[in-house]
A and B are shown apart, each in its own frame.
Chain A
Amino acid sequence: MNQPLVDVRDLSREFVVRRRVAGRRRRVRTTVAAVHDLTFQVGAGEMVGYIGPNGAGKSTTIKMLTGILVPTSGHLRVAGLEPSRDRMTLARRIGVVFGQRTTLWWDLPLRDSFELLQRMYRIPDATYRRNLDTFVDLLDLGDQLDTPVRQLSLGQRMRGDITAALLHDPEILYLDEPTIGLDVVSKGRLREFLRTLNRERGTTLLLTTHDLQDIEALCDRVIVIDHGTSVFDGELSALRGRGGSSRTLVVDLVDEAPPIEVPGATHAGSDGPRQWLRFPADVSAAPIVAAVAARYEVADLSIQEPAIEDVIRDLYAR
């Protein structure tokens, strides 16, 4: 990629916090870095998961990327623009969806919100109609267009919000907890829609979430942020191999046996004829499986991948 769509280099944002300290009459000013020397690039058409614990600096990053918060220092370009200076121009090229906030006008039918957005973003009639038809169809919103937003269910409202964010054909879509509070079926449909969007329109997605299933379903690449700085940036599969995480070999023997001893793996438990062996996630399972099969009479074998939650917990804990 010659010119990344999102280019973040050594980005920092500090906040001045006033705090009461025991024994001092005046409050003490301290500087807190919400984001500190953050660097990453996102190319056009990527689907990137941006994750981290509460307070890690995710929202602060998104606010800087969209231009509503000015960085303290560092380099920041989105679609070649400096967000805080060109906020209005950039706004026409990005879409933003918040799971917990609605962009729709509460007392008016969904259709009115869409019509206002058409004028706000100066969307040509033909484009507007085509997009509206497409999204209403894909997201199954046809029956809700004339319902006031306050009467919509959470899932319907969320689909309305996503439509609202996409009517002006944004190049990049920021999604903040888009599936929060949705049931399993709604989550699945939403993820399917986002995959279609990325595949057919090439829309770049940057997704912050606490639901790691969103990440597993959507993102090839994950950026993990903690204490305001990137602690991992790479493929989801590489993340699994990180953080001292391990895979588990589940061995079902024909008969009960004392703990299995093979090189490269450690015994992690027994339950009757079933035994668990742990080995590092970045080591091939083949020689271990071969060693077990050579020495014991095996009825069945399976390998458990490390849960992504565990890997990330390990990363945060460092």
Chain B
Amino acid sequence: MLHVAIATRAFRRYSTYRAATLAGMFTNSVFGVIYSFAYLALWRANPTAGGYDSVDAVTYVWLGQALLMTVALWGGGTTDGLAERIRTGDVAIDLYRPVGLVGWYLAADLGRAAYHLVTRGLGPTLLGLLLFDIRLPASTAAGLAFLLSVVLAVVVSFAIRFLVAASTFWLLDDAGVRVMSGALAMFFSGMVLPLTLFPGWLGTLAHALPWSAFVQVPNDIWLGHHEGALLAALGFQALWALVLLGACQVVLGAATRKVVVQGG
């Protein structure tokens, strides 16, 4: 119950910044339109690139825009607050609480993600539906699997962002690591280009890395490319989620044992 309460309050917390939300929705929409035309040009040259047709490709663009903030692709989210609290030493207060830090921040991040999904996710997608030919999920099952996949995407992304934030315990500032992690996420999530376009071993590698769980996997579930292998796709995300959350616990344990909480 505590974690539900944390999540609902995180949702409310983000909803207090209305102007930022509107500005963000506008940005997502503009990029959605630009990317859509770029992809349409690409698929006119090669109508079956990556195993997608042009409708798949434009749908992929808008799903990507919807997931960008939801999974906090290039950082942001509640883990930024955590990094700041480690930097200033305020994390000491969090550690006094009779609650695990990972579960607590995960709950808050899921609340945040829910807010970003219904605002910065749904809003631009509706515009995309009006302006372009967009594919809807093949079945109710695919739609539900997509939602579950988005939750898992947020968890995997959270775990990576948590590890980045936790590096502050040792590095005193996580800015460098965050930029690097954001660049990796941008490329290997399939946000810039679908991973199905990557040739040979690079494609194989990209599909196996945890970042593919951010965008590529949920998008392919929506588009029906995992039809018949839904469980394998969701299992891939769940496995990375478990492994990375375990890593978060280990790193946090090492941090609290060894490192001084900064500031007095």
Q: Does A68 contact B (CB under 8 A)?
A: yes
Q: Does B261 contact A (CB under 8 A)?
A: yes
Could you tell me the distance between the alpha carbons of A148 and B16 in the complex, rounded to whole angstroms? 10
- Within 8 Å CB of A121, what residues of B? 98
CB contacts under 8 Å to A, within B245-264, are 256-257, 260-261, 264
- Whole-angstrom distance between the Cβ of B69 and the nearest chain A Cβ: 18
- Within 8 Å CB of B80, what residues of A? none
Could you tell me the distance between the alpha carbons of A98 and B264 in the complex, rounded to whole angstroms? 11
Q: Does B201 contact A (CB under 8 A)?
A: no
Closest to B1 in A: A119
- Whole-angstrom distance between the Cβ of B105 and the nearest chain A Cβ: 13
Query: Which one of A43-51, A101-109, A228-236 is at the interface?
Result: A101-109
**Inter-subunit contact A70/B98 (CB<8 Å):** no
**Inter-subunit contact B93/A96 (CB<8 Å):** yes
**Inter-subunit contact B95/A116 (CB<8 Å):** no
Considering only CB atoms and an 8 Å cut-off, how many residues of chain B contact the other chain? 23
Q: Does B38 contact A (CB under 8 A)?
A: no
- Whole-angstrom distance between the Cβ of A35 and the nearest chain B Cβ: 12
Could you tell me the distance between the alpha carbons of A66 and B1 in the complex, rounded to whole angstroms? 26
Chain A facing B: main interface SS:
mixed
**Inter-subunit contact B98/A98 (CB<8 Å):** no
Write out, one digit per residue, whether chain B residues 9-44 have a CB within 8 A of any chain A CB (1) or not (0): 100110010000000000000000000000000000
- Within 8 Å CB of A301, what residues of B? none
**Inter-subunit contact A120/B261 (CB<8 Å):** no
Q: Does A127 contact B (CB under 8 A)?
A: no
- Whole-angstrom distance between the Cβ of A121 and the nearest chain B Cβ: 6
- Whole-angstrom distance between the Cβ of A128 and the nearest chain B Cβ: 13
**Inter-subunit contact A115/B5 (CB<8 Å):** yes
**Inter-subunit contact B99/A101 (CB<8 Å):** no
**Inter-subunit contact B96/A91 (CB<8 Å):** yes
**Inter-subunit contact B13/A63 (CB<8 Å):** no
CB contacts under 8 Å to A, within B73-90, are 88-90
Q: Does B2 contact A (CB under 8 A)?
A: yes
Could you tell me the distance between the alpha carbons of A105 and B6 in the complex, rounded to whole angstroms? 11
- Within 8 Å CB of A115, what residues of B? 5
CB contacts under 8 Å to B, within A220-270, are none
**Inter-subunit contact A98/B260 (CB<8 Å):** no
On whether A91 and B98 interact (CB within 8 A), knowing A68-B92, A68-B261, the answer reads yes
**Inter-subunit contact A108/B98 (CB<8 Å):** no
CB contacts under 8 Å to B, within A154-191, are none
On whether A116 and B98 interact (CB within 8 A), knowing A70-B257, A98-B93, A101-B89, the answer reads no
- Within 8 Å CB of B1, what residues of A? 119
On whether A116 and B89 interact (CB within 8 A), knowing A91-B98, A96-B96, A121-B98, the answer reads no
**5 shortest interchain CB distances as A-B pairs:** A91-B98, A119-B2, A68-B95, A107-B13, A59-B264
Q: 19 additional contacts, CB 8 Å, given A98-B92, A103-B93, A107-B13?
A: A63-B92, A66-B96, A69-B261, A88-B98, A89-B98, A94-B96, A96-B93, A100-B264, A101-B90, A102-B90, A105-B13, A107-B16, A108-B13, A112-B12, A116-B2, A116-B5, A119-B2, A120-B97, A148-B16
Residues of B within 8 A of A (CB): 1-2, 5-6, 9, 12-13, 16, 88-90, 92-93, 95-99, 256-257, 260-261, 264
Residues of A within 8 A of B (CB): 15, 59, 63, 66, 68-70, 87-89, 91-92, 94, 96, 98, 100-103, 105, 107-108, 112, 115-116, 119-121, 148
